[in-house]
Amino acid sequence: MPAISRRDVLKSTAALGLGGILGGIGWGIVGARATVHQDQASPLGIADDLANPAELHSVDGRLHADLYMSISDQTLPSGPAQLRIFNDTLPAPTLRLQPGDTLEVAFENRMPPNPDRRDITVNVPNRFNTTNIHYHGFHVSPLGNSDNVYLEIEPGQRFNYVVQLPQDHPAGSYWYHPHRHGSVSAQVASGAAGMAIIGGALDEVPEIAAAVERILVLQAPVPGIDGVLDDEEPIWALTAERDFLVNGQFRPRIYIRQGEVQHWRVLHAGDAQFLPLRADGLEIYEVGRDGNPLQSAQLTELIDLAPGNRADLLVKAGELGHYTLLRPAFNQGTQAMLEFVMADIFVIAADDPRVAPGIDFGTEIPTGELPDNDILVDIEDDEITGHRTFVLGVSDVKGYFHDTLFTINDQSFDPGRDDVVTKLGAVEEWTLVNTTPFPHPLHIHVNPFQLVEINGEPAPGKPWLDTVPVPAAGSVKFRTRFLDFPGRFVMHCHILPHEDTGMMININIQA
Question: What is the contact surface with Cu ion in residues (CB under 5 A)?
Answer: 440, 493, 495, 498
When the beta carbons of 213 and 271 are compared against Cu ion, the nearer one is 271
Ramachandran class of 286: left when φ > 0, alpha when ψ lies in -120 to 50, beta otherwise = beta
CB of 269 to Cu ion, least distance (A): 16
When the beta carbons of 106 and 495 are compared against Cu ion, the nearer one is 495
CB of 332 to Cu ion, least distance (A): 11
The alpha-helical segments, DSSP class H, found in 210-263 are 233-236
- Strand 504-510 to 420-423 pairing: parallel
CB of 443 to Cu ion, least distance (A): 10
Q: Which residues contact 198 (CB under 8 A, 6 or more apart)?
A: 97, 98, 99, 165, 169, 170, 171, 172, 174, 291
When the beta carbons of 89 and 435 are compared against Cu ion, the nearer one is 435
CB of 498 to Cu ion, least distance (A): 3
- Strand 449-454 to 464-465 pairing: antiparallel
When the beta carbons of 445 and 498 are compared against Cu ion, the nearer one is 498
CB of 413 to Cu ion, least distance (A): 12
When the beta carbons of 284 and 491 are compared against Cu ion, the nearer one is 491
d(CA 25, CA 16) in angstroms, rounded, equals 20
When the beta carbons of 109 and 412 are compared against Cu ion, the nearer one is 412
When the beta carbons of 149 and 493 are compared against Cu ion, the nearer one is 493
CB of 115 to Cu ion, least distance (A): 28
Name 311's bridge partners.
Answer: 266, 289
Q: Is 465 exposed, middle or buried (0-12, 13-18, 19+ CB in 10 A)?
A: buried
The end-to-end CA distance of the chain, in Å, is 45
CB of 303 to Cu ion, least distance (A): 21
When the beta carbons of 54 and 222 are compared against Cu ion, the nearer one is 222
Q: In 3-state terms, what secondary structure has residue 438?
A: coil
When the beta carbons of 326 and 391 are compared against Cu ion, the nearer one is 391
When the beta carbons of 487 and 502 are compared against Cu ion, the nearer one is 502
d(CA 287, CA 412) in angstroms, rounded, equals 36
Torsion angles phi and psi, residue 208, rounded to 5: -80, -40
Torsion angles phi and psi, residue 189, rounded to 5: -65, -20
CB of 442 to Cu ion, least distance (A): 8
CB of 271 to Cu ion, least distance (A): 11
3-state SS record for 456-494: CEECCCCCEECEEEECCCCEEEEEEECCCCCEEEEEEEC
CB of 391 to Cu ion, least distance (A): 13
Of 364, 365, 348, the C-alpha closest to 45 is: 348
Of 39, 157, 146, the C-alpha closest to 102 is: 146
In the Cβ-directed half-sphere of 302, how many Cα atoms lie within 13 Å?
9
CB of 387 to Cu ion, least distance (A): 23
d(CA 294, CA 287) in angstroms, rounded, equals 5
Instruction: Collect contacts of 142-150 with beta carbons under 8 A, ≥24 apart.
Output: 142/445, 142/446, 142/485, 142/487, 142/488, 142/489, 143/485, 143/486, 143/487, 143/488, 147/445, 147/446, 147/489, 149/179, 149/180, 149/181, 149/445, 149/489, 149/490, 150/415, 150/488
When the beta carbons of 294 and 495 are compared against Cu ion, the nearer one is 495
Where in 290-376 does DSSP place strands (E)?
292-300, 303-305, 310-316, 321-327, 330-332, 335-337, 340-348
